[in-house]
Amino acid sequence: MSCSCHSHEKIKSIAILGGGPAASALATLLAREGVRVAILHRPRNAPLLVGESLVPAIIPILRKLGVEDEVRGFAKFKPGAIFNMNEFGDYPFTFKDFCGSLPDYAYNVPRLQFERTLLEAARRAGAKVFETEAKVERVTSTDKVKLSRETLDVVKEFLGGEPDLIADATGRARVLPKLFNIPSREGGRKDTALFAHLDQAEVYKDGYVHSSRLDYGWSWRIPLPGRVSLGIVIPSEHPPKHGTTPEERYDNLLKHDSVLSKATAGSKRITPVVRMLIVGVIGFVVMVACLYIAALSMRRISASSDSTDNVTPLPKKSKSKTKTRHESSGGFMERMEDRWRRRRDEDL
Ligand SMILES: Cc1cc2nc3c(=O)[nH]c(=O)nc-3n(C[C@H](O)[C@H](O)[C@H](O)COP(=O)(O)OP(=O)(O)OC[C@H]3O[C@@H](n4cnc5c(N)ncnc54)[C@H](O)[C@@H]3O)c2cc1C
């Protein structure tokens, strides 16, 4: 955020750059407090967007924004998650086993609809949305920023002049950090995400988000109403081996990967494929966060004496060597944590 007023002055107006969930939520809360809020939103062209599977921590925010009922109407109820780790076994867990005071569920959402709902809530609260690309510039010889002349022209009548505050909610576009040359840190990984919607795909538990280890990389499967979002995240050298266009590469990976070919047998892709480069920190953080949440939750599950029918607890150490689907292997936690530490040290 950048403020052109003095800290003791009450902020009366704000320009929020971006129109994603962060921008809309901030706009709603500030508009309710009587702040004049302009959202400068460069509309998205993509038919598909990442960010479809929500976590329980978001539910109190949806309630506060007054949109949970509306979101429930178009979302898929999400009671938990499953991590498929091939030879290491499958690890399903329900949120109710480790969410503490948080709600014990979340939602999988068609993302564009979700964003529209949040933006509409901001409008209802009194924020005004300007569909334009926001441009900012530095105020000479200071550490302050201002809207560029052409952007100010769009909002100044509504805001009554320059905004008291500018908030950057442009996500990966990083408008203000770029202006201030604040570097982003990239790790060693250069993965590619290819994702699309299928008419169906195998899901072991309805509504659960599935994260699966693949022959190379990993994939997500997010059940949405009437479809499944499936994303593949793999080292960038692999997709070109499977075709020229994102569609060819995605379809061939579904056919040739040993996990995905089973999970998507008989399914049909119903959208174009989106390709996204996921450099070190993001890819690594998304993956590690998934694994670490799994590890933490499993620790709690294994520590709890009463399992529920939705949860496969870690087995007590046994001499049995056979493993079946949904059965866990002893020592998994240690191996995953070891691997996680090694990769973290390599990447960061
Ligand atoms: C591969 C991948 C998978 C993910 N999966 C999930 C998931 O399943 N669940 C989940 O919760 N999160 C997921 N995320 C993370 C999630 O997408 C982000 O946390 C979330 O979108 C951040 O919201 P935001 O509002 O901060 O930014 P964004 O959603 O990125 O919104 C930024 C907005 O700013 C606009 N903008 C950019 N520059 C300008 C400008 N100059 N002027 C005006 N507007 C501008 C953009 O058009 C966009 O509308 C995933 C991320 C990745 C990379």
CA atoms of 194 and 234, how far apart (whole Å): 9
Residue 231: strand pairing partners:
195, 220
CB 176 within 8 A of CB 2: yes
Nearest CA to ligand 1 atom 52: 50
Count of alpha carbons within 13 Å of 23, Cβ hemisphere only?
31
Q: What is the pLDDT along the chain (348 residues), one digit of tens a residue?
A: 555 555 557 899 999 999 999 999 999 999 999 999 999 999 877 777 888 999 999 999 999 999 999 999 999 999 999 999 887 888 888 998 877 889 999 999 999 999 999 999 999 999 999 999 999 999 998 889 999 999 999 999 999 999 999 999 999 899 999 999 998 887 788 899 999 999 999 998 899 999 999 999 999 999 999 999 999 999 999 999 999 999 999 999 999 999 999 999 999 999 999 999 887 544 444 444 444 444 443 333 333 323 222 222 223 223 333 233 333 444 555 555 565 556 545 544
Torsional sign, CA 152, 154, 160, 163: negative
CA of 267 to the centre of ligand 1 (A): 28
Q: Cα of 51 to ligand 1 centre, how many Å? A: 7
Domain 1-52+111-183 classified CATH 3.50.50.60? yes
Q: Within 13 Å of residue 290, how many CA atoms lie on the same side as its CB?
A: 22
Collect all residues with Cβ–Cβ distance below 8 Å to 43 and sequence separation of at least 6: 19, 131
Residue nearest to atom 16 of ligand 1 (CA): 51
Q: What spacing in Å lies between the alpha carbon of 173 and ligand 1's midpoint?
A: 9
**What is the rounded distance in angstroms from the CA atom of residue 33 to the CA atom of residue 14?**
12
Q: Which pTM does this prediction carry?
A: 0.82
Q: Ligand 1 centre and the CA of 201: distance in Å?
A: 25
What are the domain boundaries of the chain?
1-52+111-183, 54-109+185-348
- Ligand 1, CB cutoff 6 Å, lining residues: 17-23, 40-42, 44, 50-54, 133-134, 169-173, 175, 193, 276, 278, 282, 286
> From start to end of 160-273, where are the E strands?
165-168, 190-198, 209-213, 218-224, 227-235
Class at the top of the CATH hierarchy for domain 54-109+185-348? alpha beta
